[in-house]
Amino acid sequence: MSLRAGLLNTWLRQVEKPAMARAKDPAQLRRRMEMHARLFFHAPRGTRMQWQVLEHGHNRLDALEVAPRALTSDMVVLYVHGGGFVFGSPTAYSALAGQMARRLGARVILPRYRLAPEHPFPAAFDDICTAWQSLLKSGISPDKIVIGGDSAGGALTLSLLGQLAEEDAPMPAGTFCFSPLTDVTYSGESFGKNAKAEAVLPAERAHDMCAMYLGGAEVTDPRISPLFGRFEGVPPVWITVGDTEILYDDGRRMAQVLRDDGVEVTLQVQRDLPHVWPLFHNILPEARQTLDDLVEWITQTQVLPGEN
């Protein structure tokens, strides 16, 4: 672990984690996330961003398209941001998307899905399904799309993948997740074991945030907790998670569920890195390395220009 990672962990544990634990209103969490994004997360110079509308059937939602200065690939990354289903936004994640876009020479699409508690389940899940269907409707081949997400966005990403498997529908080229939430029953051993070591997420608030999203739905519904889904026939999946995260077992057990269903899985476990550390690409060398590792995996999963 780098010196910067150690210092960042200390700051997160002493400042940000208690602030998240104290926040009673989702609006506070949303404002704090946007403020931190403006201060700490910066896209590469020349990154282009524009809003577009995604629609399928009667559902419509805005999405932020992030593109590099030099577009060299016709692939598309559909990225689903995290935030416990109650905060986060495409703008807060636009710098991370810019980093991926530059490395891949490709567009990254970030849908602005509806947030709880104003819009409980299945609003967010329906919006991600709309985003996927809209990309297909626009003429993009499914094997030119990679879908990914982090934390609760990882739950939505994997739930979409499970739904496509259930429907025997067209599949993306691959799927990736940073620190995914996969079990909203919070039954993993790490949820309690890592509660103190976790640098970002206050374990005591998880059930409150979940309740805002559930709206009375069953927590083991695979559209909420993908750990309980079926994934036969889905394309390769790449997952990374830190060993001190409360969601460590979410990532580890999800990888096993996928493997049991015959899916090719790459699981990277990192030592004592904060929840969704790739967000800190401007600060952490480990974040930049993880993004490089992800891009290498994507280029192996989907043939890009110059690859054979």
pLDDT in tens, 125-163: 999 999 999 999 999 999 999 999 999 999 999 999 999
Could you read off the pLDDT of 89-122 as tens digits, one per residue? 999 999 999 999 999 999 999 999 999 999 999 9
Q: Is residue 301 very low, low, confident or very high in pLDDT (cuts 50, 70, 90)?
A: confident
Rounded Cα distance, 61 and 89, in Å: 13
Residue 24: per-residue pLDDT: 84
Q: What is the pLDDT of residue 303?
A: 46
CA atoms of 151 and 203, how far apart (whole Å): 14
H helices present in the chain, as ranges: 3-11, 17-22, 26-40, 94-104, 123-137, 152-166, 189-193, 206-214, 248-260, 285-301
Separation CA 37–CA 62 (nearest Å): 19
pTM value surpassing 0.85: yes
Beta strands 48-56 and 76-80, pairing class: unpaired
pLDDT at 306: 41
Q: What is the pLDDT of residues 179-233, one digit of tens each?
A: 999 999 999 999 999 999 999 999 999 999 899 999 899 999 999 999 999 999 9
What would the pLDDT profile of 53-91 be if each residue is shown by its tens digit? Answer: 999 999 999 999 999 999 999 999 999 999 999 999 999
pLDDT of residue 230: 97
User: What confidence score (pLDDT) does residue 302 get?
Assistant: 65
Indicate whether 28 pLDDT > 90.
yes
Q: Assess whether the previous peptide bond of 122 is cis (omega < 30° from 0).
A: yes
Q: How would you classify residue 151: left for phi > 0, otherwise alpha for psi between -120 and 50, otherwise beta?
A: left
pLDDT band with cut points at 50, 70 and 90 for residue 307: very low
For residue 165, what are its two tokens?
């498997």
What burial class does residue 308 get, using C-beta atoms within 10 Å of its C-beta: 0-12 exposed, 13-18 middle, 19+ buried? exposed
With tokens 């110079």, the residue in question is: 45
- pLDDT tens-digit map of 240-261: 999 999 999 999 999 999 999 9
What b/e string do you get for 192-220 counting C-beta neighbours within 10 Å, with b at 16 or more? eebeebbbbbbbebbeebbebbbeeeebe
